[in-house]
Structure 1
Amino acid sequence: MTQEDRRAAAIADIIARTGIDEAMIDHLVRAFYGRIRDDALLGPVFAARIVDWEPHLQRMSAFWSSVALMSGRYHGQPMEKHLPLPVDARHFDRWLAVFVETARDVCPPVAADHFIERAQRIAQSLELGIAAQNGLLLAKGQRLQRPDADVFLPDTSFAEAEHLA
């Protein structure tokens, strides 16, 4: 069996178990980033970096296809893109909360669970990478906490932003 045959078999297995396909991935990505763009904490972080959303949405669909289906469609360096962002644990928690809510709203439960499990690992990996880039080696269970002046926060306090979201 060739590598391409193994990949096709793995994709077919995931589709059979979860119902995930490219159309579901695209729907999830668009719904998620629609919510992110309106989010008080995360929206401005993305708006400062993304002018043309369509190429970003297409890239994220390819990324999630690679993550969820093992399709190999995404060829990029996500860690590299995230290292300079002015974020910490608060941002990752919010990103994950919006992702979980969106996945539960737009996907069948088995598919949502599949996406969420991977999103949790991605958020953790990116948080650890950003911490390391900033000279912090996080112990197991420790979170990236940066001074407020070093991260993007909306004009209101974080607690108020959570209340508004």
Structure 2
Amino acid sequence: MNDMQPRAARENNAKGVLYLQFRIQEQRFALSVHEVIEVLPRQPLKPIAQAPGWVAGVLAYRGQLVPVVDLAALSFGQPAAQRTSTRLVLVHYRGGLQLGLILEQATETLRCHPDEFQPYGVDSAEAAYLGPVRQDEQGLLQRIEVNDLLPDVVHQLLYPGEPTGMPT
């Protein structure tokens, strides 16, 4: 272990990373809380013309307009269920941008080490945001890679003038 690393950081590494868990239909997913800005209840959104159906709209948040994606609609073609546990989660996206995600049953957290998530052997080029999986007593839990959520054409629509590639 590196003695130059602050004590709090060493303790966090020993305990693992905290993940927000949610569901899409009956499937379990996780999102690192390091990517989360704020968890909000569902909010009214303004639709975005010419956007794919899984782009739920735009949210006015603290003086900024934030695009919102319905992750259930993106992943499985069905909009998120209207539940009391459905949340609008604001996340850091590609450096300094913000993105909203509509997530079902986003009420629990899990602490584990990132290396517990393993590649699952499926080519998900069309869904690059679907990351590795972790198995536990409840079944499989799949990590979401926030920076890979939007295809370049949708990124350009929602963030005009912003580069499409990942920041270096």
- Length-normalised TM-score, structure 2: 0.25
Larger % of strand: which? 2
Larger % of helix: which? 1
- Length-normalised TM-score, structure 1: 0.25
